[in-house]
Chains A and B, each alone.
Chain A
Amino acid sequence: MNCDEARDLMHPLLDGELDAKHARAVEVHAEGCTGCAAELSSLRDLQKTIFAAQLCYPAPESLRLRIERALPRPAIRPSRREWLQGFALGAGLSAIAASGVFVAVLREDKESPILSDIVSAHLRALEPDHLTDVPSSDRHSVKPWFNGKVDAAPPVPDLSAEGFALIGGRLDAIGGKMVAAIVYKKRAHIINLFVAPGAAGERLPAIEKAQGFNVRHWTEDGVSLFAISDLNAAELADFAAAFSAAAAQTGK
């Protein structure tokens, strides 16, 4: 490899666009050529300088809100809005100690976006024809359906022995992310279980009551799980425990 070739390939090398063979060839050339070695390190420095200076512009919150408002929104019943504002106040107060960031977010939104999303998603799911994208009581057809559709493909254990029948799976939007929703049923009570990557809901209390629904939240292996149902709190706790134990056994 000569100097001209090496210098042409330095840019794709720095951008991670070269295959291993060519990358190695450029590096070998630079090891034996002081001019090219200097050029490569100068380009590397420039890239580091750009990265370190953080030249991105964060979008103003007002712009985000303007775009949000232009999109169709699910109708929100007044009682729920009031309840959520109460929640946001409490969460806001406890968050002051923890983080200024979260307070700023709450000031803009006036409600907990995650919990609000969960309740909205559950209400939507209860409408006719909205419950599942893949209706099946067979976990072997529900689990693969999620592959490639969401960041965290969830475990889908069979909990019929514990009295929770698998109804199917669905995609839903929680906290601005596409997440997996698994649907179970006990007697006439639907349970929606949302599985989100990361600790999206770590500021939510483990148990909440929201507009007549019980919400249970826990994290496991880096994913956040939210179970919501009109089932009573004790039975929902049983469900969470059963799911958690079965998920650990199937090894995900």
Chain B
Amino acid sequence: MRIGFGARQTRRDAAASGAGEDEETKANRFRALALPHLNDVYTLARYLLPRADAEDAVQECFLRAFRYFGSFGGGPVKPWLLAILRNVARSQRAGAASLVFGEELSVGGAAQELPPLWGEAPESPETSLIKREDAVRLRQLIAGLPAEFREVLVLRELNDLSYREIAQVTGAPEGTVMSRLARARKMLREALEAQEEKA
């Protein structure tokens, strides 16, 4: 994308190698390419971290991403951002003495912050209520999965990444991604069935 188109490109290349790109140009590119993925990054943060830590992690992720943006080699931006978020989340968790990576999360207050209902097909109050209850329940069950299964499930089903992209984000081979995803789905399905039996 940045191969030789006159003086300005050369300046950008110099910037990419750390010589101090025009900050405004860099910020504009970052706004256009990285910020549209904010909801994806925040979603992953909410499933990897306790709720109170998610916002700080996302902010830290975008600050780091902007710092590294000059040396970002191109390609899809979303997996790159999600990999940074994952690293931020891991170091936050490592720093928190009370938390062990792999510990289950609890999802508190999920009912109050479901996606707004505008923009959806009109539906009766009953069906939207059922939907909300489903969402709360499912979020809790996903939060209860062990971390390595939870993250591949979220990256695949909510962040819509391909196996290869998930492998990039998690550092696990594609075959491992596939088998973890299969396990994650089975665990989630069993948990759903167990809950339905209780009800």
Binding site for B on A (CB under 8 A): 8, 11-12, 15, 17, 42-43, 46-47, 49-60, 63-64, 66-68, 70-74, 99-101, 124, 129-130, 132-135, 145, 148-149, 172-173, 176-178
Contacts and interface: CB of A to CB of B under 8 A. Distances in A.
Contact of B135 (A17, A53, A58, A132): A53
Contacts of A57: 39, 42-43, 46, 113
Interface string B55-80: 10011001100100000000000000
Contact of A66 (B31, B32, B59): B59
B108 to A, nearest CB: 13
17 contacts: A11-B182, A15-B163, A17-B163, A46-B192, A51-B157, A52-B131, A53-B135, A55-B135, A59-B41, A64-B38, A129-B8, A133-B9, A135-B6, A148-B1, A172-B28, A173-B28, A177-B32
Nearest to A148: B1
Grouping DSSP codes into helix (H, G, I), strand (E, B) and loop, the A interface class, with mixed when no group exceeds half, is mixed
Interface of B: 1, 5-9, 23-24, 26-33, 35-36, 38-43, 46, 55, 58-59, 62-63, 66, 113-116, 118-119, 131, 134-135, 138-139, 142, 156-158, 162-163, 178, 181-182, 185, 188-189, 192
A145 B185 CA distance: 45
A8 B182 CA distance: 8
Contacts of B28: 172-173
Contacts of A67: 35, 38, 58-59, 62-63
